[in-house]
A and B are shown apart, each in its own frame.
Chain A
Amino acid sequence: MDVAVGPARATPLTEQPTHARGYWTQSWERLRANRFGMSLGAVLLILTVIAVAAPLITQVVTHYDPATQDLDEVFAPPSAQHWLGADELGRDTFTRLVWGARVSLGVGFLTVALYILIGGSVGLVSGFFRGWVDEALMRFVDMLLAIPTIFLLILITSLLPLRIGPPGQIWFTIQHDALSLTVIIAATVWGRVARLVRGETLAISSREFITAARGVGASDRRIILRHIVPNVLPVMIVTASLGVGQIILTEAALDFIGLGVQPPVASWGNMLLNSQSYLFHSIWLVLWPGLAILLAVLSANIFGNAVRDAFDPRLTS
């Protein structure tokens, strides 16, 4: 039996955390509590790691090169040698899928980052300065949103390669590669973000703390960067989290119709494009790239939903 020795321990009356937990802590805790969302987030993370480590994986695990042809192995069904089979030129499907992840996820993440940057800046400027700047920018956004994205993308990508620079000189060329596609897609889809951020900026600009900041003599720059940006950040995060899946789909569709990343570079979309001709006898060529797209987009969307639920300020109160 235990005998209490010494003075009784002081009861921690005041050690309860009394400070309010901040928005970021709260949101993060809410996100972490969402098991389903977090596990799909983990899937997305794994896919990203695979994409980044593609050269390593091909060297150590599969021992194939994504573009090397092997005419003895044409249409080889899935086996110990080719885990997921081989395509019409005897290229290893698994290796190509791994490399394709680079295109899909790379374009997915980078495009979203870029269009959040463009749309966010336009929205901030538009909502903060109002007047004719706002009017002009928002009318432009209206027009941009009126044209179906895929038509605009078909139009722009059909004009490639575009040589940018003054006459007789080429600064850089926009062509059918992943980086160019990132820029092109971002340039066509930023309108919705601009609208959202503008609305949010308008609402925040009329709040008292902005008036107060202006009262103590803060410059426009400071007000935007220190007071408004942190407050519109949640909207941007929510939009970004829901955008990745959509962009991956768009990019894959573009590859699929032959206006995106060109062979021999492997992408999930152009693998599907090739495989449609072999639908009759090599089903796996159609199955895997589509499943890969579905897995990436589904995990991005479910994780995105979880992020939205956790970070949406309107759900906080």
Chain B
Amino acid sequence: MTRYVVRRLLASIPALLGVTLITFLLMHATAGSFLPGLELNPNLRPEDIMRIRQNLGLDDPLPVQYWRWISGLVRGDFGNSILDGRPVITQILDRLPNTLLLTGTAMVLGIGISIPFGVIGASRRGRIDDALTFLSVLGVSLPGFWIGLLLILVFSITFNRIGWPWLPSGGAVSAFGGGDIGDRIAHLILPALVLAFIHLAIWARFTRSSMLEALSQDYVRTARAKGLAERRIVYVHALRNAVLPLVTLLGLEFPGLVGGGAIVEIVFSWPGIGRLALETALKYDFTMVLGLTTFTGILVVVGNLIADVLYAIADPRIRYR
């Protein structure tokens, strides 16, 4: 097991390096516009601009700059914001818990709903199956940001107007007197639902096909031959094997979740890293956006790694491949 983890860890190093290389090259390709409008500032002499460039190390050879970039990253130094000079990483870590909370809740919600759906779809076929197929197409076709707006319209604005208990339309806690668990959950419901719904249908369909495969296995026939109850066969024998590949799917879906989460965060003013990326992008804080992009890339590689390891723990066959 340890050997597998170590091997998998080593294998993800090129991907990690690559993420840093791509963001670095993007940063360099745009070095001209890296300091936007400085050359238009009448209070700056050309030598000032030269000095700023020198201080930021923009005139050093590329390999030197790249080395500085990754050696900083290894030490957890993502550079400083060019707007307020605060370290990029502290701002990211400030927001990260919120993103993880949203993504995690959406995942739990999505899995909790999609597995039963997938199982029912596989074991009963027919109507439910067709509905599931259509729902999954609908799920990938719905613009999440629009659904978010509609939910705000119904559950925040309309409910508030007619005097029903309403849900907050944005933020993670109430500005005044918020912060207790009920308040946090109220803020979490809408964004988590939207994010879960986008992925729900895909997962349900995946569970269904995985379940169908499990149901056609020999051990299921054996179980039937033994005269076990169908319920027991489906929910105990087949399901346990069918949910295994779902772990890998979750790993693969992780970038989509983080990315989709970014849009949902923006609609619901959720103070996570997706919203941070947009806020800083609109302020032309390039180092922040770069740091964030690199960070999410690393997050995804690590997420895939964790999914693979979990899979290997759950399914011993994988370890010996």
Contact = CB atoms under 8 A, between A and B. Distances in A.
A148 B255 contact: yes
A279 B153 contact: yes
Interface string B142-169: 1111100110110001000000000000
Interface string A5-42: 00000000000000000000000000000000000000
Interface in B262-307: 262-263, 266, 274, 277-278, 281-282, 284, 286, 289-290, 292-293, 296-297, 300-301, 304
A206 B297 CA distance: 35
A171 to B, nearest CB: 14
A46 to B, nearest CB: 17
B72 interface: no
A279 B149 contact: yes
Contacts of B314: none
A258 B152 contact: no
A259 B23 CA distance: 19
Contact of B21 (A143, A149, A275): A143
Given A146-B300, A147-B19, A154 B281 contact: yes
B41 interface: no
B247 to A, nearest CB: 18
B259 A143 contact: no
A208 B74 CA distance: 49
Interface string A133-160: 0000001101111111111101111110
Nearest to B295: A151
Interface residues of A, number: 46
Contacts of A283: 153
A301 B140 contact: yes
A293 B143 contact: yes
A153 B259 CA distance: 10
Contacts of A150: 259-260, 262-263, 274
Contacts of B26: 155-156, 159
Contact of A158 (B137, B146, B255, B286): B286
Contact of B15 (A146, A286, A302): A146
A312 B21 CA distance: 36
Contacts of B284: 158
21 contacts: A139-B15, A147-B293, A148-B255, A148-B258, A150-B259, A151-B262, A151-B274, A156-B26, A158-B282, A158-B284, A163-B33, A253-B144, A253-B263, A256-B143, A257-B278, A259-B278, A286-B150, A290-B143, A294-B146, A297-B142, A298-B138
Interface of B: 14-15, 18-19, 21-23, 26, 30, 32-33, 137-138, 140-146, 149-150, 152-153, 157, 255-256, 258-260, 262-263, 266, 274, 277-278, 281-282, 284, 286, 289-290, 292-293, 296-297, 300-301, 304
Interface of A: 139-140, 142-152, 154-159, 162-163, 245-246, 249, 252-253, 256-259, 272, 275-276, 279-280, 283, 286, 289-290, 293-294, 297-298, 301-302, 305
The 9 closest A-B pairs by CB, nearest first: A143-B18, A148-B259, A158-B281, A290-B146, A150-B259, A147-B297, A298-B141, A297-B141, A148-B255
Given A142-B18, A253-B143, A257-B266, 15 more contacts: A146-B15, A148-B300, A150-B274, A155-B23, A155-B281, A256-B263, A256-B266, A279-B157, A280-B157, A286-B149, A286-B150, A289-B146, A290-B143, A302-B137, A305-B137
